[in-house]
Chains A and B, each alone.
Chain A
Amino acid sequence: MSTETTPWAPVCALDDIPLLGSRVVRADSGDIALFRTDGDVVFAVHDKCPHKGGPLSQGIVHGHTVTCPLHGWKIQLESGEAVAPDVGCARRFDVKVEHGQVWLRT
């Protein structure tokens, strides 16, 4: 999980992420999916579905949830947890938006 010592890194502008869409950030630890939900809340989750590793960034975003494009698992963006009855968790990352700039802590 994110530790306090890792610094915040600016990644992109909020408007670079489509509303109800996502962008992929290539990080050393693997791809991270940035999601922009209705109401401009941004979440960051490891871009790998806990089911069979599908790229969550390619899914459809609805509410604070993304549906994986491969087999339709629903992942809650706040926690990275799969929606029951599926069980599994994608790692989440700290992310914040300040003055239209998105910051990520990997």
Chain B
Amino acid sequence: MEKKRLVMVGNGMAGCRTLEELLKIAPDMYDITVFGAEPHPNYNRILLSPVLAGEMTIQDIILNDRDWYRDNGITLHTGRRIVKLDRVARKVIADDGSEASYDRLLLATGSNPFILPVPGKDLPGVIAYRDIADTDAMIEAAATRRHAVVIGAGLLGLEAANGLALRGMQVTVVHIGAWIMERQLDKPSADMLQASLERKGLTFLLEKQTESLIAGSDGRVSAIRFKSGETIPADLVVMAAGIRPNTALAESAGLHCNRGIVVNDTLQTFDPKIYAVGECVNHRGIAYGLVAPLFEQAKVCANHLAQYGIGTYKGSVTSTKLKVTGIDVFSAGNFMGGPGCDDIVLHDPAGGVYKKLVLEGDRLVGACLYGDTADGAWYFQLIKDGQDIHELRDHLMFGQNHLGDVGHKGQTQAAAMPDTAEVCGCNGVCKGSIVKAIKEQGLFTLDDVRKHTKASSSCGSCTGLVEQILASCIGGAYTPADSSSKALCGCTDLNHGEVRAAIRERHLIDIPSVMRELKWKTPNGCASCRPALNYYLISTWPHEAKDDPQSRFINERAHANIQKDGTYSVVPRMWGGLTTPDELRAIADAAEKYKVPTVKVTGGQRIDLLGVKKDDLPAMWADFAKAGMVSGHAYGKSLRTVKTCVGAEHCRFGTQLSMSMGVKLEKMLFGMWSPHKVKLAVSGCPRNCAEAGIKDVGVIGVESGYELYVAGNGGIKTEVAQFFCKVGSDEEVMEYAGAFLQLYREEGYYLERTVHYVERVGLDHVKGKVVEDADNRRALYERLLFALQDYKDPWLERAEAEAKSELGREFRSIAIKQAMKA
């Protein structure tokens, strides 16, 4: 069958991304021809500013070099502008007379700079700031001329001004508005930005309307006159007063346009054979200028060009997170506020930080951040979700503080960090390496950066910093990841919530049927989704869904913790942190018998034997079983420990029997799998020696009973547990704690700790289901007990298993010599 012909007019970022997406899913469907008016292959337009500033070269910002087009069989015509579109004959004609026929046409003509209609606008020395040619013209002018005037104090204008100043020109920025960047900033933050730019040598003239541009004796522009009558010298004038969708070709062919080529949710124009993407498009009344929405369009458009016919583009909620000449700026939503809105404002001029949050009732509707934008992504999420924030209101301004406490010297502002500063303490990645990778590899998303640099890919505590660096490198191209709608992994478009719901509603009980029913894109998933699915199945359908060991991380399959050298660590359970001379003897014997190199006391009040060979595990466990000891699950997304203080058993301050309470809880929860690890603690009095304040469930004894705290965390980011309720008896502690954990097991997303789960659903929701609704609490508690009944010690099971059996062979290697004989 002959291939169809796809012609693309325009060779920019949105168009080429569409082709990339198309080639990914239907590489052989089309013969592709591309016409670009510029003489270059596709480059990253957003990085023209660093080129102007002398930080990068044109070569650095090429996204698809000519080899890419050739390798993908794409015919590329650069330097050829399409002047005619003949929809009847289905062909396009270029300015050199050459023609190309199409079966499908993709218009990606981008936008044109808006040129003020003033006398002198066509003089030599008057340019826009849109492409490589403009950038070259500015670099050239900077070498020989002195006075530059930039008209327009938007992002582009300020970047042009900054670049020209760095190249030695005296730069004046002229702006019609009362403050700069009025589409992204309110007045106080804009004033701070202006003051900072003035310190760098830029001059600002606000509320000035240009009347005309005046030619000098050499015929070039030499001055600019304002309506106020003032005149200032100008050897170079850069028009940066906005952009307009480039619809000339589409309009000339009679395609419906209205401030952009009008498209439907599949990016199809009014001519069904013609699609359009990018800045030239008007989708539901909006022409987007940021790259992130355009890439979303590209994905949908490619899907339809490939005739898959699924996926629609519904528009994008945008936020602006960018770096203006080294200063982080973020804004989203209605950041100006107005009647019916409350503003929460933090303004520290000397510290260079400004934050404004706009609230309407109990909803966050807008945010404007200057200097410290670490929490931009969080605010954006709250705005998009329309989440009720009344509980957060008193500390909303201080941010989510999703940056961890440690690992990056407490830095929260990426812009202030030198290139040599370590951003990711886990993988030892410094800021310079991240910046380099983003620029050289053309990265646009957090996931890309994680893949290429490993930064933020381990504990994730530096994610906020990495996002800031990404935003500062790629400017408007960056949109913070949308956590609530984020797909579980690359194998599916569904998110955790949707997958959980489907497993419950459709009564799915094994991984193959989940993948089949939910149309997984990969034959057997990946190392991210399989453990998640396995957990969702066994927690939703206990005793019915079969646990799949091959979908468990090795620690949960081997029931021990893998170490860096491939050996394992073994932690026997010590109920409530209590042990006996017999148990200690058994541990000492095992340590000697199996030549354990390191024996260590853990933070969870038990003993860790480190450096055990995998082949030795079943025998060691058999020895422990003889001493009555069971697995401590120190390796699992499961109940870890219940830490206790001495309590009223011995302590002169103790009010409750914390050790016995801890043992009861630990015995009840033994073998509980959960979205992430779960740690408990019981203290016998408010002195809280068991550190119950940073546990998933913390129990603190008081004279009249127990206080329960939930969703604490002592890890990456220390989070203090929140007061949950007060109860009177041990039985109630078990019921309330059990019900809370069961709710978390049923609603939590895989790898979500209780603190993040509660943050997502709200403490009110959890209290409503557990504390306030007694029937529901008992039902949850019953379901937990049902799931946990008949749980067998996994160590004993494996120690007793036959070598050849499914459980046993995990620990037996095959000797090649024996194999040779066979």
Contact = CB atoms under 8 A, between A and B. Distances in A.
Interface of A: 9-12, 16, 18-21, 23-28, 31-32, 34, 38, 52-55, 58-63, 65, 67, 69-72, 74, 85, 104, 106
Contact of A25 (B551, B562, B816): B816
27 contacts: A9-B819, A9-B820, A10-B822, A11-B814, A16-B814, A19-B550, A20-B524, A24-B814, A26-B815, A32-B816, A58-B562, A59-B527, A60-B526, A60-B527, A60-B530, A61-B524, A62-B522, A63-B526, A65-B526, A67-B526, A69-B554, A69-B562, A70-B562, A70-B564, A72-B457, A74-B527, A104-B816
Contacts of A20: 524, 550-551
B522 A18 contact: no
A60 B552 CA distance: 7
Contacts of A9: 816, 819-820
A18 B816 contact: no
B553 A106 contact: no
B813 A18 contact: no
Contacts of A61: 524, 550
A71 B562 CA distance: 12
Contacts of B526: 60, 62-63, 65, 67
A85 B454 CA distance: 10
A60 B813 contact: no
A63 B522 contact: yes
Given A11-B816, A59-B554, 13 more contacts: A9-B819, A18-B810, A23-B809, A25-B813, A25-B819, A53-B566, A54-B566, A55-B566, A58-B554, A61-B550, A62-B524, A62-B526, A69-B553
A26 B817 CA distance: 8
B451 A28 contact: no
Tell which of A26, A72, A74 has the most Cβ of chain B within 10 Å: A26
Task: Indicate the size class of the contact surface on chain B.
Answer: 35 or more
Nearest to B525: A62
Nearest to B529: A62
Contacts of A54: 564, 566
Nearest to A37: B524
Contacts of B531: 60
Contacts of A32: 816
B530 A52 contact: no
B550 A27 contact: no
B525 A52 contact: no
Contact of A63 (B524, B551, B558): B524
Nearest to B562: A69
B441 interface: yes
Contacts of B565: 53
Contacts of A72: 457, 527
Interface of B: 441, 451-452, 454, 457-458, 522-527, 530-531, 549-551, 553-555, 558, 562, 564-566, 804, 806, 809-810, 813-816, 819-820, 822
A51 to B, nearest CB: 10
A103 to B, nearest CB: 9
Contacts of B562: 55, 58, 69-70
Contacts of B820: 9
A85 B433 CA distance: 15
A18 B814 contact: no
Given A23-B813, A52-B564, A18 B523 contact: no
B441 A85 contact: yes
A20 to B, nearest CB: 4
Nearest to B567: A55
Given A10-B819, A21-B550, A52-B564, A85 B451 contact: yes
B176 to A, nearest CB: 45
B814 A26 contact: yes
Tell which of A53, A54, A60, A85 has the most Cβ of chain B within 10 Å: A60
A38 B554 contact: no
B550 A18 contact: yes
Nearest to A60: B527
Q: List the 5 closest pairs (A to B, CB-CB), nearest first.
A: A67-B527, A58-B554, A24-B813, A60-B527, A55-B566
A16 to B, nearest CB: 7
Nearest to A55: B566
B550 A85 contact: no
A12 B550 contact: no
Nearest to A29: B816
A63 B554 contact: no
B816 A38 contact: no
Contacts of A16: 804, 809, 814
Given A16-B809, A54-B566, A67-B526, A60 B816 contact: no
Given A12-B814, A55-B566, A70-B562, A38 B553 contact: no
Contacts of A26: 813-816
Tell which of A19, A62, A72 has the most Cβ of chain B within 10 Å: A62
A6 to B, nearest CB: 11
A72 B820 CA distance: 33
Contacts of A11: 814, 816, 819
Contacts of A69: 553-555, 562
Nearest to B527: A67
A40 to B, nearest CB: 13
A17 to B, nearest CB: 9
Nearest to B443: A85
Contacts of A23: 809, 813-814
Contacts of A67: 526-527
Tell which of A24, A58, A67 has the most Cβ of chain B within 10 Å: A58
Contacts of A12: 814, 819
B553 A18 contact: no
A59 B562 CA distance: 11
Nearest to A49: B566
A31 B527 contact: no
Contacts of B804: 16
A104 B818 CA distance: 13
A12 B523 CA distance: 26
B816 A28 contact: yes
A27 B816 contact: yes
